């Protein structure tokens, strides 16, 4: 089973503190693991930052909130004991209704998340809103501006390596669909060819095949096709060419993550 949310963990911590003994964070984690039958995979679950373990984070903030509510008393740093208010709360109903008793109003997103989880959700929402705003500006700009932004974005994502001048916009009439070139090395022996188009419709097979043909004609081994449409990332491989098709909004989110 997945690690319960903070509201459920909070209710469980209060129940387990009902023995009127002193409890520590790590000791409580072990009791919750045994009570819920959590597996090693469950315990490996982490927040989206990839560093903080979910159970550890939720147990900690459960203790802190229960103390703030007056249901637990902090005996000393990291050690808690149930308070009179907590005992009274547990005595008013069966164990299964403790969560409902803790919540005096309808559950909100904030109540169901720890502070770290709320920060991560806010950071994600800000990044997505910023990407949408940038995408709207790109749609309103010129094709040449879109091509330049795409090349600059790919360079910022790490393509081009240590080359001091890795990217260039080359889009022009008769360019065979090539709008930019990113040199992976100083001599330009290993290059990525870019096509950046503001299609109003989703990218179809003919457009991908046309770009693939242009790459083949140049003897190119790598190609990236980017459009402002929010389409799925696709890949196509031939014996000598690797082509990736993605959207500019996806690329901006890669760079912002």
Q: Which of 71, 86, 113 is the last residue of a domain?
A: 113
How far is 253 from 92, CA to CA, in rounded Å?
49
pLDDT number for residue 205 = 75
How far is 240 from 195, CA to CA, in rounded Å?
18
Give all strands (DSSP E) within the chain, no chain letters. 23-24, 72-76, 79-82, 167-169, 180-183, 191-197, 222-227, 234-237, 242-247
Q: Are residues 94 and 158 part of one domain? A: no
Q: Is the pLDDT reported for residue 245 higher than 70?
A: no
Number of domains comprising the chain: 2
The CATH number of residue 77's host domain is 1.10.10.10
**Residue 178 domain-assigned (yes or no):** yes
pLDDT confidence band for 13 (50 / 70 / 90):
very high
How many CB atoms sit inside 10 A of residue 14's CB?
24
Q: Are residues 139 and 205 part of one domain? A: yes
pLDDT number for residue 176 = 60
User: Residue 88 belongs to what domain range?
Assistant: 6-113
How far is 246 from 142, CA to CA, in rounded Å?
20
Q: Are residues 77 and 138 part of one domain? A: no
CB of 112 closer than 8 Å to CB of 143: no
69-94 pLDDT, tens digit per residue, is 899 999 988 899 999 999 988 887 54
Q: Are residues 145 and 70 part of one domain? A: no
Q: Are residues 75 and 129 part of one domain? A: no
Burial 129-145 (b: 16+ CB within 10 A, else e): eebeebbeebeeeeeee
pLDDT number for residue 185 = 67
Q: Is the pLDDT reported for residue 161 higher than 80?
A: no
Q: Which of 73, 88, 113 is the last residue of a domain?
A: 113
pLDDT number for residue 255 = 45
Q: Are residues 131 and 248 part of one domain? A: yes
Q: Any idea which of 34-43, 50-59, 166-175 has the lowest mean pLDDT?
A: 166-175
pLDDT confidence band for 43 (50 / 70 / 90):
very high
**Residue 148 domain-assigned (yes or no):** yes
Q: Edge-to-edge, what's the strand order for the sheet holding 72-76? A: 23-24, 79-82, 72-76
**Residue 186 domain-assigned (yes or no):** yes
Q: Are residues 173 and 97 part of one domain? A: no
Q: Edge-to-edge, what's the strand order for the sheet holding 242-247? A: 167-169, 180-183, 191-197, 222-227, 242-247, 234-237
How many CB atoms sit inside 10 A of residue 224's CB?
22
For residue 215, which phi and psi values (nearest 5 degrees)?
A: -65, -45
pLDDT number for residue 19 = 93
pLDDT number for residue 166 = 66
Q: Are residues 185 and 136 part of one domain? A: yes
The residue-averaged pLDDT of 32-40 equals 92
Q: Which of 60, 79, 113 is the last residue of a domain?
A: 113
The residue-averaged pLDDT of 246-253 equals 50
Percentage with pLDDT > 70 across the chain: 70
183-202 pLDDT, tens digit per residue, is 876 666 678 888 887 766 66
The verdict on pTM exceeding 0.85 is no
Q: Are residues 136 and 66 part of one domain? A: no
Q: Are residues 207 and 155 part of one domain? A: yes
The full DSSP string for 206-234 is: HHHHHHHHHHHHHT-SEEEEEESS-PPPE
Q: Which residue has better confidence, 38 or 221?
A: 38
Residue 154 Cα distances to 150, 169, 184, 256, angstroms: 6, 12, 12, 12
Q: Which of 15-19, 132-136, 177-181, 246-250 has the highest mean pLDDT?
A: 15-19
pLDDT number for residue 141 = 80
Tokens standing for residue 185: 């090395």
pLDDT number for residue 52 = 85
Q: Are residues 129 and 246 part of one domain? A: yes
pLDDT number for residue 180 = 84
The CATH number of residue 167's host domain is 3.40.1350
pLDDT number for residue 128 = 72
- Shortest CA distance to 104 belongs to which of 28, 7, 211? 7
Average pLDDT over all residues of the chain: 76
**Residue 219 domain-assigned (yes or no):** yes
How many CB atoms sit inside 10 A of residue 89's CB?
21
pLDDT number for residue 104 = 46
If you count them, how many residues does the chain have? Answer: 257
**Residue 31 domain-assigned (yes or no):** yes
Q: Any idea which of 12-21, 56-65, 101-110 has the lowest mean pLDDT?
A: 101-110
Q: Are residues 188 and 217 part of one domain? A: yes
């Amino acid at each position: 089973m997945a690690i319960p949310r903070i509201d459920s963990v909070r209710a469980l911590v209060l129940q387990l503190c009902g023995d009127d003994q002193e409890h520590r964070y790590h000791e409580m984690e072990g009791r919750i693991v045994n009570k819920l039958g959590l597996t090693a995979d469950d315990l490996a679950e982490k927040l989206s930052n990839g560093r903080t373990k979910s159970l550890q984070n939720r147990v900690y903030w459960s203790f802190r909130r229960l103390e703030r509510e007056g249901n637990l008393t902090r005996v000393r740093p990291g050690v808690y004991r149930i308070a009179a208010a907590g005992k009274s709360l547990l005595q008013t109903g069966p164990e299964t209704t403790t969560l409902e008793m803790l919540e005096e109003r309808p559950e909100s997103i904030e109540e169901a998340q720890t502070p770290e989880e709320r920060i991560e959700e806010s950071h994600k929402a800000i990044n997505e809103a910023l990407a949408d705003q940038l995408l709207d500006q790109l749609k309103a700009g010129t094709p040449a501006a879109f091509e330049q932004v795409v090349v600059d974005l790919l360079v910022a994502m790490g393509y081009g390596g240590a080359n001091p001048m890795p990217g260039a916009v080359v889009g022009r009439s008769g360019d065979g669909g090539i709008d930019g070139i990113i040199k992976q090395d100083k001599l330009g022996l290993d290059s990525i060819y870019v096509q950046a188009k503001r299609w109003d419709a989703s990218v179809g097979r003919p457009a991908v095949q046309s770009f693939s043909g242009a790459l083949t004609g140049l003897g190119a081994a790598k190609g990236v096709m980017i459009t402002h449409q929010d389409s799925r990332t696709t890949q196509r491989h031939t014996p000598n060419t690797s082509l990736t098709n993605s959207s500019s909004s996806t690329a901006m989110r890669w760079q912002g993550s």
